[in-house]
Amino acid sequence: MANQNSLPLYEKFWYKHNYKRVTESLLSVLLLWLLGYRVISINNYSFPWFVAFLCESWFTISWFLALTTQWSPAVTKTYPDRLLQSVQELPPVDLFVTTADPELEPPIITVNTVLSLLALDYPAHKLACYVSDDGCSPLTFYALQEASKFAKFWVPFCKKYEVQVRAPLRYFFDKPEVSTANNTPKFKQEWLKMKDMYDQLSRKIDLDSFTKSNPCLGEFATFSNTERTNHPSIIQTRVSGLITNAPFMLNVDCDMIVSNPKIVLHALSILLDPKGEKEVAFVQCPQQFYATLKDDPFGNQMTILFKNLAPGLAGLQGPFYGGTNCFHRRKVIYGRSPDNIEKGSGISDEEFKEKFGASKDFLKSAAFALKGRIYSPNDINISNVVDVASQVAGCGYEYGTGWGKQVGWIYGSITEDVLTGLTIHEKGWRSELCTPSPIPFTGFAPGGGPTSMAQQKRWATGMLEIFICKHCPIISSLFRKLTLRQCLAYMWIINWGLQPVFEVCYACLLAYCIITNSNFLPQDLGIRIPIAFFAIYKVYTVCEYLAAGLSVREWWNNQRMSRITSMNAGFCAFLSVLLKLLRISETVFDVTKKDLPPTGNVLDDKDAGRYTFDESVVFLPGTTILLLQLTAMVIKLLGLQPPVPTPSRNGSGLGEIFCSVYLMICYWPFLRGLFETGKYRIPMSTICKAAILTCLFVHLCRRIITS
């Protein structure tokens, strides 16, 4: 499609942070020194010493995995103007929006995402938007119907006045955009008219008014006997492979609105570049958030993580597929590898049928996609498209085919997005990061407590499932085409589900040493090693936040929440996968609740940053860890520790006390939760369970002492 003799449509630049490399190298040396010190300190060998060595060994491995992922960051620069000059005709793009529950994901949020996609700066006849509602909600369908009517006025308004943020939910409640085009009386009149139309749309979509005035009659009758988790395929829309069959696809979550209307042109600058056409399978845009709380009290905005991780991955085989904000090549999703990109399907008709299913219409569309052909109007038979679409959209169509194994999104993990990206990378494809200015997409970060924990638990669970499946990065690197450093990068994020086990052990070790009057930290000059690491690491991370324009308070919020999230959501994820391996239970995909963004000033809400709890088991590990530390400190203060067994041994010292106090400070939201009321209080059932576990732990420690 692109002119082979033209200038490159995008370029990648690698860069270095020398001060960052020096500091990280120093921290690496300190970690290795600490492990070496433990090995050579024969006189200190004990059970706590051995457990500490195991945990610190894993922390060192995790540190090196993070280090190699971020060591050679890169940035990509796109040239959409060159794209427009080098292609005769822009290709069609299919847009996918996914939603699953009208209560957890309010339809008005989905509507705003769809409206922002329809208003993209791209030829309208080249775009087709599809909404996948796994919850089979008549309300969502009704909302989209009403949104399509509003879009006929909204899209021209956005393009006429060059509106930047094209989701009305944000546009009408943020500070007005100022430009020469909209600084006129006519604009103000049209603005008021559009605002009134959007308010009417919002009221129509209101759940109560819909259920009262729109029973499942007429065109909604097909929804009358359906269940959210068990329903037939209902086609009131179109299936992309049978209708448009665009060579490129964008998928977004229902809350990720477009913030840069030219993002399609930026992404296609990579995908249509002569080199990109041969090597790049998908283009990932980062996740960023709007209407955020000041100083990130819940630690869920992940600003620094994305700032370091995304460029680091861009310097390797490419960023992971994040499940949203991603542009795909359809032929890659259909199983094409870079080795045979210029060839045909390469398989027999029978094998082709076994891979894609029995639908002749779909087999035709798949053949078109794999050959890089684009549908013309004559290729589409509208008369039977609904019947065929109903057939291929059903779950039963996949049985006995390659869907979920070789074709489409890959099954086997509740984070099937990361698993799908991994299977693409292991074929030898690269991916690229696209970060134009302004940022391409923005979403709404989950609230504190239950919602955030559920999301983190789902991520960690899915990562561990990838580790134990046949697409494990280690296997993909040894026997397929996943590069070594990309393998280590995948292992780093998989470590989100493994590291919590060692963090929980380390936290329990603190309480154990104080209760039994033993130690795991060096008592001689060796204590300087962990002290130096702790001090340098904290100063280093503070500087990272300050350099990014963030506050010290936000740094601290992220520091403490990283401990809370890991030892609660991450540890529960590990237990979930363990139960799956033992075939006791299966892992479950929990939809993240998406609250409507606040329309007022979130700074005026004093309770906006307060941590909330529910009766989920995800809060049990943290509550237990907190009670363990409190119990250990009480035993220490009351002098109930046993005497040191032998003169050659040392009892617990200031190091253990400091670490325990630091951990309790990190768990300040939980400490407050013991005494708060309402949703800000840890449920009594959770406290009772944690108290029982704490008593058992103390009893075990006493038994060890007496034996």
* Predicted confidence (pLDDT) at residue 260 exceeds the cutoff of 80: yes
Weakest mean pLDDT among 248-262, 393-407, 562-576: 393-407
In a domain, 287, yes or no: yes
Residue with tokens 């499940």: 323
From 399, 414, 446, the end of a domain falls on 446
Per residue in 551-607, pLDDT (tens digit) is: 999 999 999 999 999 999 999 999 999 999 999 988 888 888 887 766 554 545 667
The answer to whether 566 touches 500, Cβ cutoff 8 Å, is yes
Residues 429 and 507 in one domain: no
In a domain, 361, yes or no: no
In a domain, 32, yes or no: no
Per residue in 203-223, pLDDT (tens digit) is: 988 765 566 555 555 566 666
In a domain, 360, yes or no: no
Q: Which of 114, 76, 486, 463 is nearest to 269 (CA)?
A: 76
Greater model confidence, 372 or 624 = 624
In a domain, 560, yes or no: yes
Weakest mean pLDDT among 133-142, 462-471, 692-701: 133-142
Count other Cβ atoms within 10 Å, centred on residue 40.
8
Per residue in 2-31, pLDDT (tens digit) is: 444 579 999 999 998 888 999 999 999 999
Q: What's the whole-number mean pLDDT along residues 169-182?
A: 73
Q: What's the whole-number mean pLDDT along residues 281-306?
A: 90
Binding-site residues sit at 105, 134
Residues 126 and 186 in one domain: yes
In a domain, 50, yes or no: no
Taking the C-alpha atoms of residue 423 and residue 471, their distance in angstroms, rounded to an integer, is 7
* Predicted confidence (pLDDT) at residue 238 exceeds the cutoff of 50: no
Identify the domain containing residue 262 by its residue range: 81-350+423-446
174 as an active site residue: the answer is no
| Bridge partners (DSSP) listed for residue 282 | 328, 431
* Predicted confidence (pLDDT) at residue 1 exceeds the cutoff of 50: no
Q: For residue 183, name the pLDDT band (cuts at 50, 70, 90).
A: confident
Q: What's the whole-number mean pLDDT along residues 39-60?
A: 91
* Predicted confidence (pLDDT) at residue 366 exceeds the cutoff of 70: yes
Taking the C-alpha atoms of residue 81 and residue 276, their distance in angstroms, rounded to an integer, is 17
Residues 439 and 556 in one domain: no
Residues 221 and 327 in one domain: yes
Reading the block at residue 504, the tokens are 């929980």
Residues 231 and 88 in one domain: yes
Residues 521 and 644 in one domain: yes
Residues 184 and 248 in one domain: yes
Taking the C-alpha atoms of residue 456 and residue 568, their distance in angstroms, rounded to an integer, is 9
**Per annotation, catalytic residue among 121, 134, 206, 595:** 134
The answer to whether 440 touches 260, Cβ cutoff 8 Å, is yes
Residues 96 and 217 in one domain: yes
Which residues, 6 or more positions from 209, have their beta carbon under 8 angstroms from its beta carbon?
A: 203
* Predicted confidence (pLDDT) at residue 235 exceeds the cutoff of 50: no
Four-residue CA torsion sign, 78, 80, 84, 85: negative
Residues 89 and 222 in one domain: yes
In a domain, 605, yes or no: no
**Per annotation, catalytic residue among 196, 339, 417, 524:** 417
Taking the C-alpha atoms of residue 320 and residue 326, their distance in angstroms, rounded to an integer, is 10
Which helix (H) or strand (E) segment holds residue 689: the answer is helix 684-706
607 as an active site residue: the answer is no
Give the pLDDT confidence score for residue 138 in this predicted structure.
84
Per residue in 506-515, pLDDT (tens digit) is: 999 999 999 9
| Bridge partners (DSSP) listed for residue 132 | 98
The answer to whether 529 touches 522, Cβ cutoff 8 Å, is yes
Binding-site residues for UDP-alpha-D-glucose sit at 105, 134
| Bridge partners (DSSP) listed for residue 307 | none
Residues 442 and 533 in one domain: no
Residues 196 and 341 in one domain: yes
The answer to whether 433 touches 286, Cβ cutoff 8 Å, is yes
From 378, 411, 446, the end of a domain falls on 446
Q: What's the whole-number mean pLDDT along residues 288-295?
A: 86
In a domain, 396, yes or no: no
Total-model pTM: 0.91
Residues 438 and 537 in one domain: no
CATH of the domain at 215: 3.90.550.10
Q: What's the whole-number mean pLDDT along residues 402-426?
A: 93
The answer to whether 386 touches 235, Cβ cutoff 8 Å, is yes
Number of domains, the chain? 2
Task: Report the number of secondary-structure helices (H) and strands (E) in the chain.
Answer: 27, 10
